[in-house]
Amino acid sequence: MRAQPKASHFIDGAYVEDTAGTPFDSIYPATGEVIAKLHAATPAIVEQAVAAAKRAQPEWAAMSPTARGRILKKAADIMRARNRELSELETLDTGKPIQETIVADPTSGADSFEFFGGVAAAALNGEHIPLGADFAYTKRVPIGVCVGIGAWNYPQQIACWKAAPALVSGNAMVFKPSENTPLGALKIAEILIEAGLPKGLFNVIQGDRDTGPLLVGHPDVGKVSLTGSVPTGRKVAAAAAGQLKHVTMELGGKSPLIVFEDADLDSAIGGAMLGNFYSTGQVCSNGTRVFVQKSIKERFLSSLKARTERIVIGDPMDEATQLGPMVSRPQRDKVLAYIEAGKAEGATLVTGGAIPNDVPAEGTYIQPTVFADVTDTMTIAREEIFGPVMCVLDFDDEDEVITRANATEFGLSAGVFTSDITRAHRVVDRLDAGTLWINTYNLCPVEIPFGGSKQSGFGRENSVAALQHYTELKTVYVAMGKVEAPY
Ligand code: NAD
């Protein structure tokens, strides 16, 4: 068991096991090897974690933002020093190639701890509001116990993106990683303790769709931040609404990436490939509907096909590997079914579409796949596939493509490639999405807000905007004279 943690859960500063919980295996998707055996949280474990968080939070909230931030920055340093070890664990957890995890996973988690650790002292201030002789002031106060629930595509990053703004604002957190990727968050919990975080403030418990509701419905929890699919988002938001809890919803998408004929073609193709094949296509903000202006369609497709067929598929621990397996067999099978639907509904398979040769039989690999001649009504153009499947759609003019790009229930992201600067700004202004890119795709540094609109969710992660979602505003009116009452 090469990635077995000391126990399944991390509560109140220590590993905790409860063997009464449903057992489950952690599987390395590249080979099917069982790398850890764990137990889902029982109601007693949920209770223990929330109680530890509730107990620890008031003292933490009473510390200055600078003092809290110092601990987060120390955690960032430890994560950077252990980048290789954490990246290997992330690769085992997810199957993503080490070439990616070494630059994108623990490092982006560390960026988050560093950013929020540094910004808190300046960004958690309130306002002074003059009212003549009287005045008012506002304070940003923590919510209390926050719950984070993660997806499986960026387990360490998601844990840090939720923990950093929550903790620096003075909250405690109970985090539940996806049952597919249970390992990384436990290491983050260990590192935070090593950095000096008082025990009980960041707790990790394991479990699945049966465990999540116990956390969401717990009366001592004030906020829930979910990264997951739209159907799960609906359930979690509905459950939280029953107790009027704060929620942040980072959900799925079917984002448009629009390539105009005046675009730098190499960059546009590179952006489309990154926005469909990075992390084996398991990225929520991916630009999976690639709208290409008809006049450049043939050139776009021939270069895209050649570059896609050069992608190196293989052992994720080999630094030369560019595309690893999907996270799990059910996810791989789901993607294969979408590919069949694409073929059946008349899309042209440009490349890929099958399980590659020369990979372990138990690995959950799939070829990077491009469909052309995709129309708006096809299943593959409407539903989130969450795998390495790019749909190329043709368009004639700007108004048409904007209308079609917006004709979706999702609104997470969008991108435009053009060398016409006014067109670029005009188009992004009319696209319905929370996060947009001009002449690049999928870059999400911690300094900029990230999140969706429409069914892709609400609330924002990263940037100072995230702090607003982990605090409440307290307003204090101060009278300087006598009360004038008419009775
Ligand atoms: P999922 O919705 O199946 O599960 C997400 C998490 O919610 C898991 O931890 C799961 O155990 C938990 N869960 C499931 N049902 C629950 C319930 N009723 N109550 C509480 N918790 C529950 O998603 P997934 O398959 O793990 O991840 C893929 C999805 O996540 C895709 O749709 C993707 O677009 C989305 N995603 C969004 C973002 C973003 O930031 N917008 C980032 C990554 C992934």
Could you report the per-residue pLDDT of 220-253, keeping only the tens digit for each?
Answer: 999 999 999 999 999 999 999 999 999 999 999 9
Predicted pLDDT of residue 139: 96
Atom of ligand 1 nearest to the CA of 253: 34
> What are the pocket residues of ligand 1 if the criterion is a CB atom closer than 6 Å to any ligand atom?
149-153, 176, 178-179, 208-209, 212-213, 216, 227-229, 232, 235-236, 250-253, 284, 384, 386, 412, 452
Catalytic residue among 146, 160, 284, 391: 284
Could you report the per-residue pLDDT of 417-456, keeping only the tens digit for each?
Answer: 999 999 999 999 999 999 999 999 999 999 999 999 999 9
177 is in an annotated binding site: yes
Q: Is 284 a catalytic residue?
A: yes
The rounded distance, in Å, linking the Cα atoms of 390 and 401 is: 17
Question: Probe ligand 1: pick from 215, 221, 227, 282, max atoms within 8 Å of CB?
Answer: 227
437 is in an annotated binding site: no
Q: Is 391 a catalytic residue?
A: no
Catalytic residue among 114, 250, 297, 444: 250
Q: Extract the tokens encoding 455.
A: 């069914």
Q: Extract the tokens encoding 330.
A: 């059910």
Predicted pLDDT of residue 89: 98
Full-prediction pTM beyond 0.75?
A: yes
CB 383 within 8 A of CB 338: yes
Angle, helices 83-94/65-81, rounded to nearest 10 degrees: 80
| Other Cβ atoms closer than 10 A to 359 | 18
| SS3 label, residue 148 | strand
Predicted pLDDT of residue 121: 87
Could you report the per-residue pLDDT of 296-352, keeping only the tens digit for each?
Answer: 999 999 999 999 999 999 999 999 999 999 999 999 999 999 999 999 999 999 999
> Which whole number is the average pLDDT over 71-96?
98
CA torsion, ordered 43, 46, 47, 48, to nearest 10 deg: 120
Nearest CA owner, ligand 1 atom 16: 209
Q: Is 162 a catalytic residue?
A: yes
Sign, CA dihedral 151-41-5-175, equals: positive
| SS3 label, residue 235 | helix
Atom of ligand 1 nearest to the CA of 216: 20
Could you report the per-residue pLDDT of 386-417, keeping only the tens digit for each?
Answer: 999 999 999 999 999 999 999 999 999 999 99
Question: Probe ligand 1: pick from 93, 215, 229, max atoms within 8 Å of CB?
Answer: 229
Whether 201 has a pLDDT exceeding 90, the answer reads: yes
Report the DSSP pairing between strands 33-39 and 23-28: antiparallel
Question: Probe ligand 1: pick from 178, 230, 442, max atoms within 8 Å of CB?
Answer: 178
Q: Is 461 a catalytic residue?
A: yes
Predicted pLDDT of residue 1: 86
Q: Extract the tokens encoding 471.
A: 């605090």
482 is in an annotated binding site: no
Q: Extract the tokens encoding 300.
A: 């776009």
